[in-house]
DNA sequence: CGTATATTCAACTCATCGGTTTATCAACCA
DNA sequence: TGGTTGATAAACCGATGAGTTGAATATACG
């Protein structure tokens, strides 16, 4: 209930169908039926997936006659990239300056070092 | 079940307690009790969280007398960073060369453009 | 108007999740 | 040996998730 935004985005991405929908939308806007076509599930199930993606802020839907055009909203992905970048120094050998690491840390959620 | 690795990692990170555990482990190894101390839940609950993180490959546990020392394993985070980087061009204005975008696309899961 | 199309809503099922409590296992210590 | 500590296992509970089917809503079209 009322989960934090980061958790909501991670949860939305923890489903291969939803990630495939995002991948499709990265190529351009699409309607619900167009998005549902490749999947072996009902259109209603896709509509639910779109609700999850919309609540996570990953897509926006606009009315257009009887269609609902879906568009990808990259802002949460940017937040995610920043979150994971907190840990980059742990795997990236080229990331060797402590200063840059501490800079990245400022004002972030779930700081690795408090 | 037997969810794909990417889904498993995303799901593991979709919980603030588990992300806080990772943040703590980024500062250094710790035992289960040490990890559980800051949280208002039982040690058993934390042990379950550690199972989830271990199955996602985000931590490894090593026996040491009666203690179980936990260490962060950054490899899945690196995979995650690569996944989200597929979408970087959508929000990053500096990411404006199509070639670099297509290069990043090769051999990745959930390609934005098939 | 009536009908077809696009989409969502509602109710239901089944599995999983995060938490609990209780019990068990393993290692140290007196 | 027995007791204490660290950690996991097992059984259970309430909530949520992903899917279904069936009905409702909204817009276009004849």
For residue A81, give its domain range: 76-105
- CATH for A29: 1.10.10.10
Work out the pLDDT band at B113, boundaries 50, 70, 90.
very low
Residue A22 lies in a domain: yes
Query: How is the beta sheet containing B30-31 ordered, strand by strand?
Result: B30-31, B67-72, B59-64
Task: Tell me the residue length of chain B.
Answer: 114
Backbone angles phi, psi at A49, to 5 degrees: -60, -40
Q: Which of B78, B90, B110 sits opposite A74 (nearest CB)?
A: B90
Say if residue B38 is in the same domain as residue B84. Answer: no
Phi-psi region of B39 (alpha: psi -120 to 50; beta: other; left: phi over 0): beta
Work out the pLDDT band at A113, boundaries 50, 70, 90.
very low
Please give the tally of structural domains in chain B: 2
pLDDT at B14: 98
User: What is the separation, in whole angstroms, between the first and last Cα of chain B?
Assistant: 25
Taking only the tens place, the pLDDT of each residue in B9-63 is 999 999 999 999 999 999 999 999 999 999 999 999 999 999 999 999 999 999 9
Say if residue A45 is in the same domain as residue A82. Answer: no
pLDDT at A101: 55
Cross-chain Cβ contact B10/A10 below 8 Å: yes
Say if residue B18 is in the same domain as residue B65. Answer: yes
Question: Which residue of B2, B24, B26 is the best one to mutate when testing the A interface, meaning the one whose CB has the most A CBs within 10 A?
Answer: B26
pLDDT at B31: 98
Contact status, residue B21 vs residue B46, Cβ threshold 8 Å: yes
Chain A residues with CB under 8 Å of B13 CB are: 10
Say if residue A64 is in the same domain as residue A48. Answer: yes
Cross-chain Cβ contact B74/A87 below 8 Å: yes
Quote the percentage of chain B above a pLDDT of 70: 81
Say if residue B57 is in the same domain as residue B88. Answer: no
Say if residue B69 is in the same domain as residue B84. Answer: no
Say if residue B30 is in the same domain as residue B69. Answer: yes
């Amino acid at each position: 209930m009322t989960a934090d935004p980061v958790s909501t985005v991670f949860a939305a991405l923890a489903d291969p169908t939803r990630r495939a929908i995002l991948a499709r939308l990265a190529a351009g806007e699409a309607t619900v039926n167009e998005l549902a076509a490749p999947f072996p599930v009902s259109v209603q199930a896709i509509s639910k997936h779109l609700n999850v993606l919309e609540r996570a802020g990953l897509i926006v839907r606009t009315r257009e006659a009887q269609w609902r055009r879906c568009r990808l909203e990259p802002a949460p992905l940017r937040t995610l990239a920043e979150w994971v970048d907190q840990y980059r120094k742990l795997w990236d050998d080229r990331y060797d300056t402590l200063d840059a690491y501490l800079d990245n840390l400022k004002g972030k959620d779930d700081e690795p070092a408090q």
